[in-house]
Amino acid sequence: MAATENAPAPVRTLISPSRFVQGKGAMTRLGEFVAPIGSRPLLVVDDVVWGLTEQTVRDSFAEHDLRVERVGFGRFATPAAVEELVEEIRRTEADVVIGVGGGSAIDAVKAAGHDAGIRWVSAPTAASTDAPTSALAVIYSEEGEFLEYRFFPRNPDLVLVDTQLVANAPVQFLVAGVGDALATFIEARAARRSSATTMAGGLPTETGTALAELSWRLLHENALPAIDAARAGVVTPALERLVEANTLLSGLGFESGGLAAAHAIHNGLTAAPQAHGLAHGQKVNIGSLAQLVMEGAAADEIEDFIVFTTKVGLPNTLTEIGLSPDDEDELRAVAEAACVPDETIHSMPFPVTPDLVVDALKAIEGLSRRVRAAHGLPEPVLYRAEH
Ligand SMILES: [Zn+2]
């Protein structure tokens, strides 16, 4: 972004939630941590998650004299969904709104809490994205196409993660969360090289970049044993470290370290019907690999990324997300959407054009197939759409 004569001098900044709470059974203490924030909570929870958490939440709220007022949520965080939640907040005279469950409910809660002028809390029941900690919401169309980022002046007052619920959730949620979080360091490193403005509204801090790097290390050390633990439905130290990496550290790291090409390519992929039904982190992983190719990352780094993400169970070829290098029109549309003027792809340390994105997306197919074959890893097959 070009500086103008009257633009204030750039500053470095880091933002974060007021409190982060994580642990096995943490949901039993939701009331204790919500009580200092508000006295009239509104819970936003879909029916499935409410079935799993209702008794725990009721017991915890009763202990702290908090009412149990709840509305359902079963859609994308669309502008209409946000408006309906604002109405519910007003109708119930809530002074704190709590999103329990997945990323869409949590994003809608942030946007609605902000619009209604009250405080908001994230209580994710899966570790599938780093959205719960951030001060922004991603708004989608009814069909799940990316519309916009909305920025708020505050992060959630509380982020509470019950790792037993994470372990009980479908394992592909955790796998997707690894994909989302792996992008954080790749993007923060690029944003730092170009001194780009981060989602926090300033230059990256040393702290933001270091948190992104710590997230990257913890993911590599803990993802595979943590996924084993989640398959068994148990909480282990590896799972705890993975959840901290992909919920807290990745959230702080992307927001105050900077986004770049990987998430912009994800946003572009939401325009491709083939990719509908894929999780956020699955599409982000394609964006991460395309970014590494585009920036000319070292061959061994790219190879390690392909091997690791294949073992984790993330897509790293077009085939797996229902596309092929021959889909010229679709890939062009994805690349054009990834390169619109406001996109974070322009935080890369060199000018990015749709041509560059198309070439990178085409390149990952043959590259990943060769690396996977050389390491005795399975050939890519189309992922079944599951959320
Ligand atoms: Zn993300």
Cα torsion angle, 33, 175, 77, 71, sign: negative
Beta strands 146-151 and 136-140, pairing class = antiparallel
Backbone angles phi, psi at 291, to 5 degrees: -65, -45
Alpha carbon of 58 to ligand 1 centroid (Å): 31
The answer to whether the CB of 209 falls within 8 A of the CB of 257 is: yes
Give bridge partners of residue 139 from the DSSP assignment.
148
Average model confidence (pLDDT) for the chain? Answer: 95
Distance 262 CA to ligand 1 centre (A): 9
Asked whether the predicted pLDDT for residue 375 surpasses 80, the reply is: yes
64 assigned to active site:
no
Is the pLDDT score of 65 beyond 90?
A: yes
Banded pLDDT at 5 (limits 50, 70, 90): low
**276 included as an active-site residue:** no
Q: φ, ψ for residue 238 (rounded to 5)?
A: -65, -40
% of the chain surpassing 70 pLDDT: 98
Q: Is 256 exposed, middle or buried (0-12, 13-18, 19+ CB in 10 A)?
A: buried
Cα(102) to ligand 1 centroid in Å equals 13
Provide the pLDDT confidence category of residue 335 given band limits of 50, 70 and 90: very high
CA of 71 to the centre of ligand 1 (A): 26
The catalytic position among 228, 276, 280, 359 is: 280
Please pick, among 157, 266, 300, 342, the residue that the annotation labels catalytic. 266
SS3 sequence of the chain: CCCCCCCCCCCECCCCCCCEEEECCHHHHHHHHHCCCCCCEEEEECHHHHHHHHHHHHHHHHHCCCCCCEECCCCCCCHHHHHHHHHHHHHCCCCEEEEEECHHHHHHHHHHHHHHCCEEEEEECCCCCCHHHCCEEEEECCCCCEEEEEECCCCCCEEEEEHHHHHHCCHHHHHHHHHHHHHHHHHHHHHHHCCCCCCCCCECCHHHHHHHHHHHHHHHHHHHHHHHHHHHCCCCHHHHHHHHHHHHHHHHHHHHHCCCHHHHHHHHHCCCHHHCCCCHHHHHHHHHHHHHHHCCCCHHHHHHHHHHHHHHCCCCCCHHHCCCCCCHHHHHHHHHHHCCCCCHHHHCCCCCCHHHHHHHHHHHHHHHHHHHHHCCCCCCCCCCCCC
Cα 277 to ligand 1 centroid, rounded to whole Å: 16
Task: Compute the distance between CA of residue 173 and CA of residue 280 in angstroms, rounded to an integer.
Answer: 10
Task: List all residues 6 or more positions away from 287 whose beta carbon is below 8 Å from its beta carbon.
Answer: 183, 261, 262, 263, 264, 265, 266, 269
Q: How far apart are CA 357 and CA 362, in angstroms?
A: 9
CA of 134 to the centre of ligand 1 (A): 10
Query: For residue 267, how far is its CA from the centre of ligand 1 (angstroms)?
Result: 10
Q: Is the pLDDT of residue 94 over 60?
A: yes
In this prediction, residue 384 carries a pLDDT of 65
Render pLDDT for 267-304 as a digit per residue (tens, 0 to 9). 999 989 998 889 999 999 999 999 999 999 999 999 99
**Closest C-alpha among 52, 47, 114 to residue 82:** 114
Instruction: Determine what percent of the chain is predicted with pLDDT higher than 90.
Output: 93
Neighbours of 24 (CB within 10 A): 17
pLDDT band at residue 8, thresholds of 50, 70 and 90? confident
Catalytic, out of 114, 130, 162, 263: 263
Between the CA of 28 and the centroid of ligand 1 the distance, in Å, is 28
**What distance in angstroms lies between residue 316's CA and the mean position of ligand 1's atoms?**
16
Nearest to 160 by CA among 234, 222, 106, 117: 106
Q: How far is the CA of 281 from the centre of ligand 1 (A)?
A: 6
Cα-to-centroid distance, 63 and ligand 1 (Å): 35
- What whole-number distance in Å separates Cα of residue 165 and Cα of residue 133? 18
Q: Indicate which residue of 180, 228, 276, 375 is catalytic.
A: 180
Q: Which residues contact 99 (CB under 8 A, 6 or more apart)?
A: 44, 45, 73, 105, 106, 107, 108, 109, 110, 120, 121, 122, 123, 132
Average pLDDT, stretch 188-196?
A: 95
Whole-prediction pTM value? 0.94
